[in-house]
Structure 1
Amino acid sequence: MAGRTTQLVVESPLRRFAERLHEELGASRVLLFGSRARGMAASDSDYDVIVVAEHFAHIDPAARARGLRAIWYEEGGDGPMDILCLTPREFDLSCDRVTLIAAVAPETIDLLAS
């Protein structure tokens, strides 16, 4: 999926959240999508995030996001967040099929990009 993400100046809580997920889970990608990534968010819009980490390989998909919202709020996050958690393999497979991941891939902002 190289070249399909957009780099943008990202607000500090999002950057800190992504860095913590990288440090604590080994996340290889933390991707923002939706209205916040498109620059069309209202003040009450949620944050939509895809977290890609091998850490999720042996965790039930329904349980993968547990605790991640707490990290978001600890880092100063100020709104609701929807989190999709995938392994790198799941992410790559999803990008090549008709899925939500493939549909939003062109608009994502890589929060770990420098």
Structure 2
Amino acid sequence: MTIQISSSLEQLVNRLVNRLKPTAIYLFGSQARGDAAEDSDYDLLVILPDTSLPRHERESKAYDALWGLSAPADVIVLTATEFKESQQVATSLASTVLREGALLYG
């Protein structure tokens, strides 16, 4: 899927890449589908190399990386293994993102 990357989205991705060193970042939800309202946020799925860091701590680091940016974002952070395992379930977030989302990085 091809999307127009705004400067706000580019800033979000750059911050996440610089701070978290992900293997991939996907945009999903209304922004990826092209039916976003003016006040819609960016839904981002960040894939990290495998780590023992709990998911809530990974997501806390992601939100810390975005501190001070004006673009609203919801960020979900999975490890590569979590992402791969989740793809096996057709109704999982990972499967939905692969079907309907857009790869922004990786």
Answer yes or no: same fold by TM over 0.5. Answer: yes
C-alpha RMSD of the superposition? 2.0
Moved over 4 A (4+): none
| Distance (Å, rounded) in 1 between the aligned partners of 2:59 and 2:29 | 18
Aligned equivalent of 2:13: 18
- What letter matches 2:62 in structure 1? L
Q: 1:25 to 1:71 in 2, by over 3 A?
A: closer
Instruction: Give the 3 Å change call, closer, same or farther, for CA 62–73 of structure 1 in structure 2.
Output: closer
Aligned residues: 105
Structure 1 gaps of 5+ residues are: 1-5
Contact kept, 8 Å, 2:27 with 2:103, in 1: the verdict is yes
Structure 1 contact 19–112 (Cα < 8 Å) conserved: no
Displacement, 1:43?
1.7
Matched, 1:27 2:17: no
SS in structure 1 of the partner of residue 84 of structure 2: helix
Which range moved further: 24-33 or 61-70?
Answer: 61-70
- Please give the TM-score of this superposition, normalised by the length of structure 2: 0.82
Equivalent of 1:91, from 73, 83, 87? 83
- Structure 1: how far apart are the matches of 2:67 and 2:34? 21
- Unaligned ranges ≥5, structure 2: none
* Cross-structure match for 1:48: 43
Length-normalised TM-score, structure 1: 0.77
In the TM superposition, residue 73 of structure 1 has moved relative to its aligned partner by: 4.5
Equivalents in 1 of 2:61, 2:21: separation in Å? 15
